Amino acid sequence: MEKKRCAVVTGGNKGIGFEICRQLAVNGIEVILTARNESRGIEAVKKLHDSGLPNIVFHQLDINDPRSIERLAKFIETDFKKLDILINNAALIGIIMHEKEFKAGAGFVQVLDENAHLLAEVIEEPYELGEECLQTNYFATKSVTEALIPLLQLSNSPRIVNVTSTYGELSYLHNEKLKEELRDMQNI
């Protein structure tokens, strides 16, 4: 008899990640909910357990910390022997949103249309946050994936799902220096 399928969801303590954990568990998959903040992760698992989903466990994971990634891989190897599904959901947005100005102005509708430039006064795109965003959303996600591929290869039907958003499109960046650097694929 084959063992139950096992999934890891990075950034599973809230939002889309939390709902992904719920849906996987509802479908009988053993879920490892990960979060950088241990207390928030434990609280999320408790909510899911309280809703009748016992097949979810928590493991702390900071995707920017190689030791944290290594501990997760060892935990999966020891407790689950393999990994069937990796959902890369943990991410940063890389901007500063001035909430008061945002609420007084446009709202999210303008972000997605040709009037996005109107948000320049309510959104800041500091270069340092752009670097941090790239480090987390690309390099750290890549590190997690590379570390877990050996466990995925033990599955009969491995899957990797990368969650992203339209905010990741370069066309929405107003910081021209950052936009040019991100277009230079040879030097990223």
Mark 124-156 as b/e (b = at least 16 C-beta within 10 Å).
ebeeebbeebbebbeebbebbbebbeebbeebe
Q: If we measure between CA atoms, which residue out of 61, 85, 41 comes closest to residue 144? A: 61
Average pLDDT, the chain: 87
User: Which pLDDT score is estimated for 104?
Assistant: 60
Q: Average pLDDT for residues 43-61, to the nearest whole number?
A: 99
| Six token digits for residue 123 | 């959104």
pLDDT band at 115 (very low <50, low <70, confident <90, very high): low
Please give the pLDDT value at position 109.
45
Tell me: the pLDDT tens digits for 125-152? 778 888 898 899 999 999 999 999 999 9
